């Protein structure tokens, strides 16, 4: 879509160039930005001009630049011991977009847009990823991605703050993962995405996204039994109703699908 309110376009060369003038907004992949009118936006600041390295693998884990595209994330060669790496593709497949959009849409953009069905948020929350955020005063702050999201389309980012990177720790990359999703329409946006992670020490994490306004994390010292998990999923907060599903439907399907996640993790499947 043409944005006919845009009168200026900037390509920053340093962090200092990210101070936004009135009417300016940050541009990464732009797949959402250019999908609908932006009447209050008069300028774009292109983050990709900063040339951030998309992916950095280290003993500590994986650092994903906010401007890394989904296609770049999926193209990362399989890393030794990273049993959770196929989970990247599972999350990408939960997005309502074509593989062509993967080449433009960014991991950071999906998280910053903060839609309930944003599955890069699902990926980050399930793998205990942490966000590195640049503040306009020149300082940095860090926050779990799961806590960054406060609602369907809202987050804790203050005006002028920039998501710089998402860091996934090695300890979760060597875990076992599972995912289930459901939508009312075959090609519709996910109405519920249920994920789980079983760590080498036996502890488990289950995450509800898309069905709730923000990620809901359920942690256990070991895999819970079916009744415990079902009750905890039923009691989770923030199930909501919109054209993509009613709150009571989301609650019910989340209980069923999360038990499938539990069973898969118990069987050791990836």
Where are the alpha helices (H) located in the chain, listed in sequence order? 70-74, 86-93, 99-102, 107-113, 119-126, 145-148, 170-173, 226-234, 247-266
Mean pLDDT taken over the chain: 91
Gap between the Cα atoms of 59 and 33, Å rounded: 35
| Per-residue confidence (pLDDT) for residue 135, from 0 to 100 | 95
Confidence of residue 23 (pLDDT cuts 50, 70, 90): confident
Sign of the Cα torsion 57, 61, 67, 68 reads positive
Q: Which of 88-102, 105-119, 185-199, 219-233 has the highest mean pLDDT?
A: 219-233
The reported pLDDT for the residue numbered 257 is 98
Q: Which residues pair with 27 in a beta bridge?
A: 46
Residue 96: per-residue pLDDT: 63
Residue 111 has pLDDT above 70, yes or no: yes
Evaluate if residue 268 carries a pLDDT over 90. Answer: no
Pairing label, strands 162-169, 61-65: antiparallel
Are 223 and 267 a contacting pair, CB within 8 Å? no
Query: Can you read off the two tokens belonging to residue 186?
Result: 């075959």
CB atoms within 10 A of CB 242: 13
| Percent of the chain residues past pLDDT 90, beyond the cut | 73
- When pLDDT is cut at 50, 70 and 90, the band that residue 24 belongs to is confident
Mean pLDDT of 24-41: 75
**94, 95, 130, 180, 234 from 183: Cα distances, Å:** 10, 11, 28, 11, 19
What's the pLDDT band for 98 if we cut at 50, 70, 90? low
Q: Running DSSP on this structure, what letter comes out for residue 157?
A: P
Sorting pLDDT into bands at 50, 70 and 90, what band is 36?
confident
Query: 206-217: per-residue pLDDT in tens?
Result: 999 999 999 999
Q: Domains of the chain, with CATH numbers?
A: 8-46 (no CATH), 53-171 (3.30.465.10), 173-266 (3.30.390.50)
Task: State pTM to two decimals.
Answer: 0.93
pLDDT band at 270 (very low <50, low <70, confident <90, very high): very low
Contact 145, 111 (CB under 8 A): yes
Residue showing tokens 């999923």:
233
């Amino acid at each position: 879509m043409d944005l006919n309110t845009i009168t200026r376009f900037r390509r920053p060369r340093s962090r200092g160039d990210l101070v936004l003038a009135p009417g300016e907004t940050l541009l990464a992949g732009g797949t959402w930005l250019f999908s609908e009118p932006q009447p209050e936006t008069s300028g774009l600041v292109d983050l990709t001009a900063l040339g951030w390295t998309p992916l950095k693998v280290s003993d500590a884990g994986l650092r994903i630049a906010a401007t890394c595209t989904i296609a770049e994330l999926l193209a990362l060669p399989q890393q030794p011991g990273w049993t959770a790496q196929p989970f990247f593709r599972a999350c990408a497949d939960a997005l309502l977009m074509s593989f062509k959009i993967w080449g433009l849409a960014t991991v950071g953009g999906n998280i910053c847009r903060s839609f309930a069905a944003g599955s890069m948020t699902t990926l980050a929350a399930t793998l205990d990823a942490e966000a590195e955020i640049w503040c306009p005063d020149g300082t940095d702050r860090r926050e779990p991605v799961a806590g960054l999201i406060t609602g369907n389309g809202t987050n804790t980012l203050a005006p002028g703050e920039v998501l710089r990177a998402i860091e996934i720790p090695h300890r979760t990359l060597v875990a076992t993962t599972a995912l289930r999703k459901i939508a009312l329409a075959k090609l519709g946006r996910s109405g519920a995405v249920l994920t789980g992670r079983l760590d080498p020490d036996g502890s488990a994490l289950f995450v509800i996204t898309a069905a709730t306004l923000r990620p809901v994390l359920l942690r256990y010292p070991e895999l819970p039994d079916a009744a415990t998990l079902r009750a905890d999923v039923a009691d989770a907060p923030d199930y909501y109703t919109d054209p993509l599903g009613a709150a009571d439907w989301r609650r019910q399907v989340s209980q069923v699908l999360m038990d499938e996640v539990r069973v898969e993790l118990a069987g050791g499947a990836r």
